[in-house]
Every structure is written in structure tokens, then in C-alpha cells.
Structure 1
């Protein structure tokens, strides 16, 4: 069964699958319709777009999670236009049996798509290589947080509160130049070598916010 709000993509994918000998028994445009179709006649596998109506956020992922709970024997392949490591992690948090996450570009490779579906139905997991690379890079950067000194963590936590370098300096009673030096060391340790300072700052803050320690520390006092 296929679920994608784009009729053109859905029809094209259905024809592609049919050419491989795959029986496409239902084509729907949203998650709710897919859940009803699966309940009426469970297929071997479903292919669902990660963003669908009404809000185009994570409706496809929510649908996948619902189906994995209600029909664990149905293999689920989630398709995404872009690499979204956080959503892939969320999908895999429910277990790695008969679940897959691929970029939409991969469906053009008939052999790869057919192999992915076969492996999913056999109970395996299929994760797009680009997503795997992103997850490994994210894990490496998270691990790098361990290498930050207590003062560097203070600076990063203050940055995560939305403070500028001047604001961090005021809150921690440091000079602005010292904060800049701390920030440079933080970016280096986390492997953030982008040329735009704002991008490195945002990525560093995101890594901190995703770390459990960010929820166990009190805010920096002004």
C-alpha cells in the first residue's frame, strides 16, 4: 500500500512497483486513509511519505508509528525528500524490525527499491546511506561534548539560552574576548568548521539541547 499526497509521485511509484511484480493493493493520499486501508486488509508492506496533509510536518511518521503498534507484521518504509536524522532516530526508537527510511531519490533505482522491500518483509531494517552518515556524524559530535571543560559547557549552556557573546560574557563575568576564545575551542572540539559563525553557533546549541545534561543544569544566572 502507498501513501503520498502527490498523485503524480504516487502513481509513478505504483507503476514502478508493478513493473517489479509487486502488487500495489491501495493508493491513498494521507495517513488516516492508510491506517483504515491496512485495518481492512493488511498488506505485506506499506510505503509512506514522511510529510503529508494536513500540516506537512511528521504526519507520515506518526502514521508509521501507529501502524507499527497496531500491525507489527506489516513492514513499513518511510520516504523523505531530505535527510532528517532526528525523524529517522524517532522511527527506529520503536525497534528495527521490518522498518525502513529512504530518500525519495532512491526509488528511481528499481533494483535497490525492490531489494529494500524484500529485506523489510523479511524482517530486516533498511536505512538510507545518507541518513546513516548523518546519524554517525551526529553521534560523534554528541560524544565530543564529553571533551568540553566545565567552563566551556557553561559558555555553551549560556549560548543555548539565546545569549550573544556579550550576553554570555556578562552572565559569566568574563570578557567578550574570553568568550570568543571559549566559543572557538567549543566549535573546534565539536568538529564544527563551517565558515559562517552563525551556523556553527546554531549547530553547537542544537547538540547541547539534545544532550541529557542540558535538562539537568540550571539556567545561567544573569
Structure 2
């Protein structure tokens, strides 16, 4: 009995438990920093709070391990963060699903805000339904375009972000042919008024006035 009690209250055991607790605490702290605080800081860093520019591109190669990739355009969050008052988070979401043994993909498109869509080889934009679907072969060397904003008037948008989606093939480091999807900010109409930034870090559509115009007033 004395031996068992001595083992339970052994200073060495207390030290070992203390070290294990410290390691666990440090590990949890590192996890919280890496997975929560670091991404949040990256999103809220002043240099990251600017809207995208026309011509910005974002490339996606779907991992073969998961065969699925989610790409979203939103207000403060998403693969493309617009920081626009007219856009909501997950305004438009693309879910790209890879075939099991091929480079064929289904592209499922969901919207939570107003969207006009122009499929490849089509001439005009039309209102997008709640859900749409494209197949990857439709956008090889072609572009599907999506205009997003807060309202549609008579099947048109007077101010919007225009997002393009196309694809092409490339050879990876293993010498295997893979498909690459390219999202782009094709157009911002009529532009972003950087002077319109509010307390939430959001901007309005508009054109910046030159100093000459301001003096003329």
C-alpha cells in the first residue's frame, strides 16, 4: 500500500504530468493561432481590405485525393472578397467535382444573391436560377461569365462585378495531364469609389473624382 501511495504522489510523476500538460497547452495554443487567429489576421490586415482589380485571376486545380473544390465570391470572405456593400458572402459559389478516373468535371453553381449568367458561346446575359450546372468541356478555351450585384432591373444590372470562368489543360510535375480552372475579375462597372469606405471596411460602386473636378465644384 505504501508503495502504491508513493507512486501516486511521486515528485517525478508530478513533474511528468506537468510537462505533458504544458506541451498540450502549447500545442492547443499553436493550433488556435494557426487555424483561427492567423487566417483572421490575414483577412483583416489593412492591405488585404481593398477590393479586387479588373484582370485579377485565381487558378484552381482540384485535388485528386478529394476530387472536389469549393470556390466562392463574397463580401468579406471567400476566394474572391469584394469588400463591396452590394455583395453578400457566398453571393455565388462554384462546387467543382472531378470524375473518378478522368479529367471530366461537373461544375455546380449556387447563388445567394442576384446573378446574371452568360454561358459559353452565348451572346447575352440572363437571370441565373438558384442552381445551375456546367460541364468542364464547355469552358475549355471558352468563358462563362457571371455578373453579381444587389439588384436586377429589367434583366439588367447598372453596377456589378463580372466574374469569368474558363479552363485549360497543363502537365503537372508527375507528367500527368490535369485540368486547371481560371476564375477572373473581368469587369467592375462603373468602378469602385475607394473614398467611399465605411466603418465596416466596405466600399460602394462609383468612380473616383479627380482633383480638378473637386476644385470645379
State the TM-score, normalizing by the size of structure 1. 0.22
The structure carrying a bigger helix percent of its residues is: 1
- Give TM-score scaled by structure 2 length: 0.23
- Higher Rg of the two aligned structures: 2
